[in-house]
């Protein structure tokens, strides 16, 4: 059974923003956003302990508590254990992502991908989410952007710990699937090369978008598809820059990125295309992609995502992007025969 068979549709909801990503979100706004997603037909929700030190899970669990658990698919992540101990959120060493959740809870975050920590992380997530099970578990951020030159050490800790635990839980029917939840292509490549690891998929954030897809095309997408390891695309708006925001890769966008976005916007305007629609449909056009999970922190954004998914985009728009060398010649496009 493929990952597509385990997911209830092409559009899910990435709940990192509910952990007070970039800003302090009022509780009622967070709850309204989850309910807006539900009302729009979204039935796949992804979260993680890391998002606001458990805040995203707590908020998501509170919102989903009123719905039948059998009616939706839920994924969270392992690799970080959240303690009762308090720390200064502004002083955390999060590699390239420092400051992203400085408005989240101040509970201390411990990086641990061992077998025991994996089981504890799942148990803690279930309590915060007010549920009895996770459908999919992603191993979170074993990559260069968080751990620099030490990333392989964390990867190997996960390989001997989390990989084995999650494989056993899948075999026992406790979870439906597992994989990596990362912002880099290399950990996914390495996992595919392992003989003992058989993940169901990867949650790849920011690496298969309109703005950044070359490396994934060259190094991952075809081999993942060949092994029936499908991709959930996280961060399809590249941290917000493709949805009217100012962030790319969780930081202020550089002049070069802003210039590229402006080029795409000009072509989109000339063809009457919304850039959100282009972003979502581009990611989903690759046959290795099972779903896309944009994040949102305001209810009205959900309706925009659903509309973007259903918008009709003329073939001439995609051709114009190719002609302008704004997208790869190798990228599958949502055009018959492209």
CB 234 within 8 A of CB 283: no
3-state secondary structure of 147: helix
Q: CA quadruple 13, 15, 16, 21: dihedral positive or negative?
A: positive
CB 297 within 8 A of CB 21: yes
pLDDT of residue 244: 78
Task: Write out the DSSP string of 247-282.
Answer: EETTEEPPHHHHHHHHHHHHHHHHTT--HHHHHHHH
Total count of residues recorded for the chain: 338
* CA 22 vs CA 18, 62, 131, 220, 294: distances in Å: 10, 22, 27, 30, 16
Cβ-based neighbours of 304, under 8 Å, separated by 6 or more:
276
pLDDT of residue 241: 83
Largest CA distance in the chain: 56
How do the domains of the chain map onto residue ranges?
14-324
R_g of the chain, CA atoms, integer Å: 19
3-state secondary structure of 82: strand
d(CA 243, CA 246): 9
pLDDT of residue 336: 57
Element (H, E) at 232: strand 230-234
The pLDDT tens digits for 15-43 are 999 999 888 999 999 999 999 999 999 99
Cβ-based neighbours of 191, under 8 Å, separated by 6 or more:
179, 180, 197, 199, 202
List the chain pLDDT tens, one digit each, 338 residues. 689 999 999 999 999 999 998 889 999 999 999 999 999 999 999 999 999 999 999 999 999 999 999 999 999 999 999 999 999 888 888 777 777 888 999 999 999 999 999 999 999 999 999 999 999 999 999 999 999 999 999 999 999 999 999 999 999 999 999 999 999 999 999 999 999 889 999 999 999 999 999 999 999 999 999 999 999 999 999 877 888 777 777 777 888 888 999 999 999 999 999 999 999 999 999 999 999 999 988 999 999 999 999 999 999 999 999 999 999 999 999 985 55
- The CATH fold of domain 14-324: TIM Barrel (3.20.20)
**Closest residue by Cα to residue 69 from 95, 43, 46:** 43
Catalytic annotation, residues? 46, 51, 77
Cβ-based neighbours of 60, under 8 Å, separated by 6 or more:
15, 18, 34, 45, 47, 129
d(CA 228, CA 215): 19
| Helices vs. strands in the chain: H and E counts, helices first | 14, 12
pLDDT of residue 25: 94
3-state secondary structure of 60: helix
């Amino acid at each position: 059974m493929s990952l597509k068979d385990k997911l209830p549709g092409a559009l899910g909801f990435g709940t990192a923003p509910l952990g007070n990503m970039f800003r302090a979100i009022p509780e009622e706004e967070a709850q309204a956003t989850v309910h807006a997603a539900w009302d729009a037909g979204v039935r796949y929700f992804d979260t993680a302990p890391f998002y606001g030190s458990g805040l995203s899970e707590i908020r998501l669990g509170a919102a989903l508590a009123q719905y039948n658990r059998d009616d939706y698919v839920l994924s969270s992540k392992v690799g970080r254990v959240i303690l009762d101990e308090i720390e200064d959120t502004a002083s955390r060493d999060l590699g390239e992502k420092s400051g992203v959740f400085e408005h989240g809870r101040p509970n201390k975050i411990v990086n641990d991908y061992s077998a025991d920590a994996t089981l504890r992380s799942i148990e803690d997530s279930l309590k915060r989410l007010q549920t009895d099970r996770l459908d999919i578990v992603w191993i979170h951020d074993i990559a260069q952007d968080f751990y620099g030159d030490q990333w392989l050490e964390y990867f190997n800790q996960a390989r001997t710990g989390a990989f084995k635990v999650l494989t056993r839980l899948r075999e026992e029917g406790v979870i439906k699937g597992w994989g990596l939840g990362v912002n880099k292509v290399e950990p996914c490549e390495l996992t595919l090369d392992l003989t003992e690891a058989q993940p169901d998929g990867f949650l790849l954030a920011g690496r298969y978008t309109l703005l950044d897809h070359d490396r994934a095309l060259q190094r991952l997408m075809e081999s993942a598809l060949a092994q029936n390891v499908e991709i959930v695309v996280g961060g399809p708006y590249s941290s917000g820059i493709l949805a009217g925001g100012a962030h790319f890769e969780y930081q202020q966008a550089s002049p070069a990125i802003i210039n590229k976005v402006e080029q795409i916007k000009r072509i989109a305007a000339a063809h009457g295309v919304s850039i959100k629609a282009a972003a979502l449909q581009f990611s989903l056009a690759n046959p290795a992609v099972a779903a896309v999970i944009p994040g949102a922190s305001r209810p009205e954004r959900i309706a925009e995502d659903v509309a973007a998914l259903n918008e009709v985009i003329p073939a001439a728009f995609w051709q114009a992007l190719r002609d302008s060398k704004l997208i790869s010649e190798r990228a599958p496009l949502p055009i018959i025969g492209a």
